[in-house]
Chains A and B, each alone.
Chain A
Amino acid sequence: MAEKNKSQAAHAHDDQHTQEHFREKHLMLDPLPRGQMNDMVMEAMTSKPTWKYWLTVIILGSIVLYGLGYSWYRLIVEGLGIAGVNRPSYWGIFLVNTVFWIGISHAGTFISAILRVFKAEFRRPFTRIAELMTTFGLVQAGFSIFMHMGRAWLSYWLMPYPNERLLWPNFHSPLSWDLLAITTYLLSSTMYLFLPLIPDLAMARDKSTGWRKTFYRILAIGFRGTEGEWTHLRHAMNIFAYAIIPVMFSVHTIVSWDFAAATRPGWNSTIYGPYFIIGALHSGMGAAAVVLAVVRGTMKNMTYFIRGEHFDAIGKLMLIISMGWAYFYFNDYIVQWYGGDKWTKALLHFHEAGPLGWMWLSMLIVNIAIPWAVLWNSKWRSNPWIISIVGILINVGMWFERYLIVPVSLSINRMPFTWRLYIPAVEVYLSLGTLALFILFYVIASKLIPFIPVWEVQEGQLAHKLSKFGRETVVTVSELE
């Protein structure tokens, strides 16, 4: 009898230990009262900014003013001649950045929509941080296109309306498809960001005073949480989650057609659509890991919401995407190499052994070798610092990839007498300006927008519980939606 009691006590102790282990590891199994979670999110948002915060704002603001303000002003006043673009590389860093920022924007939709459709529960605390990346990234992409246009104030000519000569824009060019695709994606992703934000804005309204109360009251548009409001919201979010995925795929595919539809060596590839998409996801997921690590490390109470399990899950996705990118890159490479076209061979040789050969090699190392060497290990990929370093490196690698595709590939064409290496000029400052603005948007948003979708976290916590299967304790999820 005494032995039986002893054994029962040992089992109870083991159960308790297992439960503590699960609570520590999984946010969904570590619920806090909703009020407390609200307070934690509000505290992170409304706490008095430190000197470090202001210093960051001043530094980023200065870069934005110089890079985007002064340098763009110069570009407008003095013309595109002060940029490095010239024959044969008419497309320079502006379009490298356009492709890069559109790529970054893909992670938001991927995390929010695709993981929502597949009910991947780990997505819950960081969907908003990712969705913000989509909107902020697309703004930078839009700016980069306007810079490339030169006369940015005439960009409305792209809109489908008849001009003074009664000519309508025709839709035969991939560049006009770009306008439609990027506009559709920017509008859709902003609406998709706003819809699930409404209940959190209502929470912020209820918890605020002063100017914040007015600010959130306006943004919460009168949401109370009635059955009808939730029903409409749930249906709309469902439609968005499904419909925005093909839109996301179409955007980067169309961007790839800007290149693939041309008959230039290196560009004329039928695999460019999916290759660009996987590249977009590669850089986007890397950026998401970095943003998540920074938010966790710099904002109050975020260690509760963003845990090792989330980095672990993102790390797995990064590893799979890295493998996918390697597959598509090799597919594109081998067919061009095998084709035997003289100019394509010259271009491939220029990529690998030309003056920017180091860029080509670095691209392969940081996009393939480093993620594969690091992300297979769950301990390493659960570490915010390690995964964010890998994320930064992937983004550097993906930027290199776009640089090789755009100006470097344009340097080599079928007319050797025009060959010339592109050397960027004012574009460098403008690029730094867009990067600084992207970060600045996050820094400002961290004080205005609830980064954690508290209602989604609570919904997830209600659905999760620990169940016993024989002697094993496992996590089970109920389908509440």
Chain B
Amino acid sequence: MMRMGIRTLKSAALALAVAFAAPQAMAQEVIGVTDDEILIGALGVLTGPLFRNGKTIYDGVETVYNEVNAAGGIHGRKLRYVREDDVCKPDQAVPAVKKLIYDHKVFLIHGGGCSNASLAAKPEIEKAGVPWVITASTAPQLTDPVNPMIFTTMLAGWMETAGQLQRVIDLGAKKIAIVAQHDAWGESRYTPLLDAFKAKGMEPVADEELSPEATDATPVALQLQAAGADAIITVLFPKAAAALLRDMYKIGYKPIVVGGSAIGDIKGLNDAIGIDGALAKFQSLFPTKSPLDPSEDVQKWKAAVAKYYPDDEFMVWHMFGIASGQFMVKALEDAGRDLTREKIAKVLATTSVPDPDTYAGPIACTPEDHQCYKSMAWFALKDGEQVQVGETHLSQ
């Protein structure tokens, strides 16, 4: 009877072998492009604690694609968007990107939200020669040195942190401290922030850590107060930021606090803390306009996202995707009907969208610089409303 086991095993193995050996789909002229469809892959985090960094962005991208498709597509082709989850981890990103390239056979990749995962995926994408437009990963080494096929429509981590530092200096701060969460997300901003200090010949007066799950930040608040910091740059998610702001207020310590793109909803943060005045000297920077912006540009996309993703609550993250989607659509339109990967990469390298609906500034690529976005806007709470209080544009 033992032999039967082996026979079963044998036939199973044979069946598998046949399945794998079956001729691959007929080679097309251009991978991922048919007469009526362009297949675009998204690589990023769709589930788990960091899903905002991916899923909501791709909902934004796909909203743009859906609208374009509804209006007839691009040069007679519809855009189809397939997503693969990297769970924000390199070990999941490598199979995800291989699946996109060799299994789904996408024309190009439009996505990438976690720096470590994107860095792990990069060699495979480079090797396969697939064009890649990054939507949210902030590691500068993804596009610097320039790779002819790789572009990003997201602010690099160092730009955000350099912007934060410049802002607190402009606001008149002398003794500046850092509070960071030391995980992969925090790291992609924390080290560049230290570099930004160095570039200005400055030293943070305190460099504290707060866990993303922190519920009490009194020790951190006390350390900052003891260091005499008059301004604080946070590299924190909203949960830890709320604890920090509340506990600083509690001990009667009221420095300037500058947050980053993870805190896109200052009003919501204020509601969570519930203390009037805890956010009096708080400002946050995002690459986008405010999701609460009443202008037609933002509101029409908010409505569109609500139409396609009724469960989503409209956030800054959607706005990353929408701006990036508009950029991609522009490039595909400019490239014409005869598409190849090399051609679209060439077109991407000179594509610009002077006024994306949801971004604070222009997206513009040049052949020498594939870091295609360099603007940010500043927001604060005024009379209970989230209002824009400034913009920073780094030179192209």
Partners in one complex: no
**Chain B residues near A (Cβ < 8 Å):** none
Interface residues of A (CB under 8 A from B): none
